[in-house]
Amino acid sequence: MAAAQATYRTNLENERVYNLIWSQMPEMQNRHASSWWFFLMFPREDSIYGRRQLMFAIASRAGERIRVNDVWLPGIDLRRKIVDGVDRFHAMNVAWYNDGAGTHHYMLKEPAPVLLSEHERIIRSWTGPDSETGYGIQIRSSSNRPLALEAMVRGPNGSAHFEAWGDLDSKNSSPHESIDIDTPLGGAHFIAWRRMNFEGEFDLPDGKEHLSGICYFQRPCVNAPLFPWKWIWSVFPDGTMFSAYIPYVGFNLLRKGYKFFGRERIEQTTLPIADAAFWDTPGPGDEILFNKASITPLLGLGPFPQFDVRVSNNAGDHLAFRAETYGHSYFYIDRPVLNNRLETHWSYSEYMFRMAQLSGQVAGKPVNHETMGQNYGNLEYAWGLGL
């Protein structure tokens, strides 16, 4: 008989966190509430991950009505009744695909009613009565593997049916509560599954394919004004991940639309609220944390900003690289306030990038292109303030 797989956390703890995927924590929600379920996917090609990228997301926000990427839909009603663990609301479904040369922005951009069931362990955001006649995204508990996800995506410009699962042998290959803050003024609750395997069938703008690779799944619930941040997730050919997250405030706090300041120094002038990053190798073991991080936009070097990235820690680990961007997708949420007299605006850009000019050391070993190979990643640059 084969030995049972060793897991980073107990099966009971994995199950507890996994079950929270199917809830948007309604007891924590307030007038600022927003909820998301999303996959960011890096297919494997030969010896690299992430030259091509896909993103599928279900997103909603509290309010009588909201506008997501210029489409109006009802917001989350804080007075709704949740019966037998079934939560019903409306959300926007979005999907994009970058083929390594350009971004197909709207494989899917459809608002839909949502069924979120804790007992059935499913979220279904779909425009029609069945998967053959409507558009949308469905994520449910897999019937093939324990603690895995099965997803179906269908839009006018593409579709996907895949399974995603983690090895459960480390924090990042297991579902975990990456943020859990609840105060009288608001808070946030994030379920992160930062290292998942995926495999399935994809009908993309450039044809049908069977794809497999590494993906990132997250279910964030934010019960505070949406704020700016910079975020990176990237993968090396051996599966090592590098990620960084920096919430911040800057002169772009009131910016509306996709634009930048004419002077680079103004664009770069920000105050980080926190800064953190990590390096994570596949398999059992702990991630290496960096307590200093900066992600600085560089303008005028091409059609998109590039970014100077630097991280370090007190143990002497450090990395520096240029995020050379080659693709872009843009997402934003507007919500009327003050009896429709004003609108609040929050947005983020996702940039697909290749890592260049990499240098540093981690755990006493040199880190550069020769030792690690070509890394690809995704960088979010958010601005505005979603009140």
> The domain spanning residue 297 has which CATH number?
2.40.370
Q: Which domain holds residue 75?
A: 1-224
Position 221 scores a pLDDT of 97
Structural domains in the chain (count): 2
Q: Do residues 208 and 201 touch, judged by C-beta distance below 8 A?
A: yes
Last residue of a domain, one of 165, 190, 224: 224
Residues of the chain with pLDDT under 70: 1-5
Instruction: Give the separation between CA 132 and CA 146, rounded to whole angstroms.
Output: 27
Position 133 scores a pLDDT of 84
Give the model confidence (pLDDT) of 106-164 as tens digits.
Answer: 999 999 999 999 999 999 999 987 777 899 999 999 999 999 999 999 999 999 999 99
Domain shared by 327 and 202, yes or no: no
Domain shared by 59 and 135, yes or no: yes
Domain shared by 4 and 67, yes or no: yes
Last residue of a domain, one of 166, 198, 224: 224
CATH number of the domain encompassing residue 90: 2.40.370.10
Position 2 scores a pLDDT of 41
Instruction: Give the separation between CA 8 and CA 348, rounded to whole angstroms.
Output: 33
Position 5 scores a pLDDT of 61
Domain shared by 165 and 253, yes or no: no
Domain shared by 33 and 181, yes or no: yes
